[in-house]
């Protein structure tokens, strides 16, 4: 019993002796708590204009807040001379962190990738992108995955790590796109007229002056049934769907203009030539005889 009393007396003396240190440690913890909240609010506002995803903003602000509070906790324990205890806690936390990190390797890599993607200036919500075989509008970038809404209204969910490690095409970084149309006209067509008419159709339906680009037109080959050409021009567009609509309109208007001017776009045809009419008659007679025998 005396030993217990002596032990309690010793603890009391130590406590009284360390009251100033305890008071300072408590003040440090209180200051750290309010400082961490202030830092969290500041970081949230500071990155608000750069990161549109609320989940990512909250994560970044909470990490900053936790770092400030842990720093205050470290100082408080140092003031209380809990160095040995602190080392033990840090060692245990390190081992636990390694185990947890290995177990959640995929999840953590996706989370880090999501944060990196959120800070990228060349990618954001509302952009029309093409990546990993999918194309559509970016709907969400959260801490784990990347969501794309395709033109047919399907939602594609891709892990952030996959997006970060693979190339992607962003159609929304520019406000203009080039359209290429390939077509062919019959061999008897006036090629100069075809070129002039095609350019006129494009310039009248798609303003090329503001874009400061010229309509490009090239005859490319003598094909089996037609002389083929390539026409390239620019349109105001920020996604693949708008580009597709513009190309469809251009094809319709070119076809209308060709029909009006009597310019034919030929089907694949095959021409049979005979040396004289007698050969034709002989071929017909042989054909009829073979059919009768059957």
pLDDT in tens, the chain (294 residues): 666 666 656 656 655 666 777 788 888 888 888 888 888 888 878 777 666 666 567 667 877 888 888 888 888 878 777 666 555 665 555 545 544 444 445 567 777 777 777 777 778 788 888 888 898 888 888 778 889 998 888 999 998 888 888 888 888 877 788 899 999 999 999 999 999 999 999 988 887 665 556 889 999 999 988 999 999 998 887 777 888 899 999 999 999 999 999 999 988 766 666 555 555 556 655 655 555 555
Q: pLDDT value at position 145?
A: 83
Domains and CATH numbers, the chain: 2-103 (1.10.287), 120-173 (2.30.30.60), 178-260 (3.30.70.100)
Q: pLDDT value at position 100?
A: 45
Q: pLDDT value at position 273?
A: 62
Angle at 284 between CA 224 and CA 274, to 5 degrees: 40
Contacts of 143 (CB under 8 A, 6+ apart): 55, 56, 59, 110, 111, 114, 115, 160
The answer to whether 124 touches 163, Cβ cutoff 8 Å, is no
Q: How far apart are CA 24 and CA 160, in angstroms?
A: 45
Q: How far apart are CA 228 and CA 195, in angstroms?
A: 11
Q: pLDDT value at position 175?
A: 77
* Cα 110 from chain centre: 15
The answer to whether 123 touches 115, Cβ cutoff 8 Å, is no
In order, the DSSP letters of 262-286 are T---PPP------SSHHHHHHHHHH
pLDDT, tens digit, for every residue of 268-290? 766 666 555 555 556 655 655 55
The answer to whether 155 touches 139, Cβ cutoff 8 Å, is yes
Q: How far apart are CA 281 and CA 276, in angstroms?
A: 9
The answer to whether 62 touches 111, Cβ cutoff 8 Å, is no
Nearest to 257 by CA among 195, 211, 208: 195
Q: How far apart are CA 247 and CA 112, in angstroms?
A: 40
Q: How many CA atoms lie within 13 A of 253 on its CB side?
A: 17
What is residue 59's DSSP assignment? H
The answer to whether 52 touches 125, Cβ cutoff 8 Å, is yes
Q: How far apart are CA 178 and CA 236, in angstroms?
A: 9
Contacts of 247 (CB under 8 A, 6+ apart): 179, 181
Distances (CA, A) of 152 to 136, 155, 244: 9, 9, 14
Q: How far apart are CA 139 and CA 150, in angstroms?
A: 10
Phi, psi of 222 (to 5 degrees): -90, 100
Q: pLDDT value at position 102?
A: 43
Q: How far apart are CA 36 and CA 235, in angstroms?
A: 51
Angle at 32 between CA 27 and CA 36, to 5 degrees: 155
């Amino acid at each position: 019993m005396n030993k217990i009393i002596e032990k309690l007396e010793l603890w009391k003396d130590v406590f009284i002796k360390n009251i100033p240190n305890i008071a300072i440690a408590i003040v440090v913890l209180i200051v750290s708590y309010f400082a961490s909240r202030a830092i969290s609010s500041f970081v949230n506002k500071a990155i608000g204009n750069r990161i549109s995803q609320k989940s990512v903003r909250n994560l970044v602000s909470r990490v900053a807040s936790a770092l400030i509070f842990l720093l205050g906790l470290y100082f408080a324990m140092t003031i209380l001379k809990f160095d040995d205890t602190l080392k033990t806690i840090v060692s245990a936390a390190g081992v636990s962190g390694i185990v947890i990190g290995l177990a959640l390797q995929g999840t953590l890599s996706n989370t880090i990738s999501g944060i990196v993607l959120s800070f990228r200036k060349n990618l954001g919500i509302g952009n029309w992108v093409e990546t990993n075989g999918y194309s559509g509008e970016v709907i969400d970038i959260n801490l784990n995955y990347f969501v794309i809404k395709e033109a047919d209204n399907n939602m594609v969910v891709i892990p952030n790590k996959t997006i970060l490690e693979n190339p992607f095409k962003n159609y929304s970084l520019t406000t203009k796109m080039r359209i290429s149309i390939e077509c062919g006209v019959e061999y008897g067509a006036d090629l100069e007229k075809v070129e002039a008419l095609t350019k006129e159709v494009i310039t009248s339906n798609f303003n090329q002056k503001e874009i400061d680009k010229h309509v490009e037109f090239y005859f490319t080959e003598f094909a089996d049934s037609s002389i083929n050409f390539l026409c390239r021009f620019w349109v105001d567009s920020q996604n693949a769907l708008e580009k597709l609509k513009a190309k469809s309109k251009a094809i319709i208007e070119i076809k209308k203009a060709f029909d009006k001017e009597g310019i034919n776009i030929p089907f694949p045809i095959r021409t049979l030539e005979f040396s004289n009419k007698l050969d034709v008659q002989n071929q017909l007679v042989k054909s009829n005889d073979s059919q009768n025998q059957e």
